[in-house]
Amino acid sequence: MNNAVDIHTNGATRHWPSQGLTRIPYWVYQDPAIYELEQQRIFCGPGWSYVGFEAEIPNPGDFRRTHVGDKPVVVARHRDGSINVLVNRCAHRGVQFCRANFGNTNAFTCPYHQWTYDLKGNLTGVPFRRGVLGHGGMPSDFVPGEHNLHSLKVTTRNGVIFASFEHGMPSFEEYLGPKMLAYFDRVFDGRELSVLGYMRQRIPSNWKLMFENIKDPYHATLLHVFLVTFGLFRADQPSAVKMDASGRHGVLVSSKGEQKAGAGTAEMKAFRADFKLNDARLLDPVREFPGTETVAMLTLWPNLIVQQQSNTLATRQLVTRGPHAFDLIWTFFGYADDSPEMTRRRLRQANLMGPAGLVSIDDSEVMQLSQQGVVQDQNDCGVVELDGSSVGDADHMVTEAPVRAFYSYYREVMGL
C-alpha cells in the first residue's frame, strides 16, 4: 500500500509540494491519472464503503442499486437473509443488467442474452447452453461457477451496510477505531431505522472537496450566515475536531448557542442579529442524543458523511463521476419508534440540508467555485496552515487539522 509511484500525465511527474501537508496541489482535483489511481487504491482498495441501510432491503428478494466509487453495484437480500453486494455487470458481455434503483426479484437476468444469476451472484442460467437441435451451445467444459458476478465483502453494524472490494479487510469496528465508532454508535445505536426519503445532486467539483468541506470548521463559522445567525454553529461555542489514529476518519462536533453578537460574529461581515423567522417551527430542536453536542458531522473514509445537525439525520454518500464531478446521495432517516411530531420536526429541519438546503446550498455552490478556480493552474496549490501544521485533535474550530489528517492518509494510500 505504501509503494511510492510516479504518476505520469502529459509527461509530468507528480511531486507533492515540499511544504508537506500545509499545501494541497491543485492537480489532485483534476488529473485523470490521479482519478484512476484513486479508483484502484481507494474505492477498490482497502476501505469499507457505505452502500445503504438494512431497512431499505428488509425482505428476501429486496435490492437497491448504488455505487462504490464509480462502480455500479447491487445490494440484495437473499432468501436466506444474507446481504450480498454484487458488481452490476454481467459476466458475459459486461452489460449493466440492473437499472432500477430499488426493487424485489428472485433472480437478476441480463436483458441482452438472459444470463441469470441468483441473489448471491451465482450464474444459474445460460440460454442455449447445450445448443439448439444439436447445433452450437457452450463447450462441454464450460463451468457456470467460473462466471459468477463479482461480489464484494459485506459487513453491517446497527442496520448500516458497508462493502469492500478487498476481501482481507479488518472488521468495521477495527477500521473505525474506538473514538469514531463511539460517534457512529451515537446515531446508529441499534434502534430500527426508518428512511424518510432521498435527495440527489450532482456537484461539479472533485469528490475530495466535499470531504475537505465537512472537515473544515473554519468555513462553517464564516460562510454559513444562516447557521451563525441562529447560533447553530459558531466559532465561540464549545466544539471540537477529532480524528482516528490514521487521520482518514474524522468528526466535527459543536453545541448550539444563542442568537447574539459575540466573539464569533465580530469578524463575520454578514451576521444579522435582527433576523427573526416568521415561522419559528423551522428551528425547534429537541435534545435526543447523550452529551451536550447538538451537531456531529462524521466523515468516514472513503465515501460517507453521517450528518446529525439538531434533529435532522442523514447519510451523505459520495459517488465519484470523474475528476470534475460527484453525486451526493442524501438518505434522510429517523427511528422506527419516532413520534409523528418528531418525524415532522426532522422533515422540517431537512430544509437546512440537501440541494436546496438553507445551509448546504452555500457548500455546493462554493465547491463549484473551487473547482472552477483550481482547474486554471494545476501547478498552483492551496494553503492549509490554520492552527499550524498539526494533524491531531483540537478543542476549537479555528483549525484545518482534519483536512491535513485526511491528506496525510491519502498520500500514504496513493504513494504521493
Partner 1 sequence: MRTHELRAEIEELYYDYAASLDELELERWPEFFLEDCWYKIISRENYERSLPLATMWCESKGMLKDRVVTIRQTQMFAPRTMRHVVSNTRIKSDGREGIQSEANYVVIQTMVDEESKIFNAGRYLDTLVRENGQLKFKSRICVYDTIMIPNSLIYPI
Q: Which residues bind partner 1 (CB under 8 A)?
A: 101-102, 195-204, 223, 225-226, 229, 270, 272, 275, 277-279, 281-282, 327, 332, 343, 347-348, 350-351, 354-356, 358, 361-362, 364-366, 368-369
Q: State the nearest-atom distance from the C-beta of 319 to partner 1, in Å.
A: 10
Nearer to partner 1, 223 or 251 (CB): 223
3-state DSSP of 388-408 = CCCCCCECCCCCCHHHHHHHH
CA-closest candidate to residue 53, choices 135, 129, 166, 159:
159
Nearer to partner 1, 327 or 387 (CB): 327
In one-letter notation, the amino acid at residue 306 is V
Q: State the nearest-atom distance from the C-beta of 276 to partner 1, in Å.
A: 9
Nearer to partner 1, 29 or 183 (CB): 29
Q: State the nearest-atom distance from the C-beta of 240 to partner 1, in Å.
A: 26
Nearer to partner 1, 141 or 274 (CB): 274
Nearer to partner 1, 343 or 408 (CB): 343
> How many Å apart are CA 320 and CA 303, to the nearest integer?
9
Q: State the nearest-atom distance from the C-beta of 323 to partner 1, in Å.
A: 17
> How many Å apart are CA 392 and CA 399, to the nearest integer?
10
CA-closest candidate to residue 215, choices 407, 37, 345, 36:
407
CA angle 242, 394, 184 (to 5 degrees): 15
Give Cβ neighbours of residue 320 (< 8 Å, ≥ 6 apart): 35, 38, 39, 43, 69, 70, 207, 326
Q: State the nearest-atom distance from the C-beta of 179 to partner 1, in Å.
A: 31
Nearer to partner 1, 356 or 383 (CB): 356
Q: State the nearest-atom distance from the C-beta of 42 to partner 1, in Å.
A: 23
CB environment 362-396: b (16+ within 10 A), e (fewer): bbbeebeebbeebeeebeebbebebbeeebebbee
Strands 326-335 and 193-203: antiparallel
Half-sphere exposure (Cβ direction) of 56: Cα atoms closer than 13 Å: 23
> How many Å apart are CA 90 and CA 127, to the nearest integer?
14
Question: Under a CB-based contact definition with an 8 Å cutoff, are residues 108 and 96 in contact?
Answer: no
Q: State the nearest-atom distance from the C-beta of 156 to partner 1, in Å.
A: 22
Q: State the nearest-atom distance from the C-beta of 261 to partner 1, in Å.
A: 16
Nearer to partner 1, 6 or 365 (CB): 365
Nearer to partner 1, 148 or 201 (CB): 201
* Residue whose C-alpha cell reads 464549545 in the numeric block: 238
Question: Under a CB-based contact definition with an 8 Å cutoff, are residues 292 and 312 in contact?
Answer: no
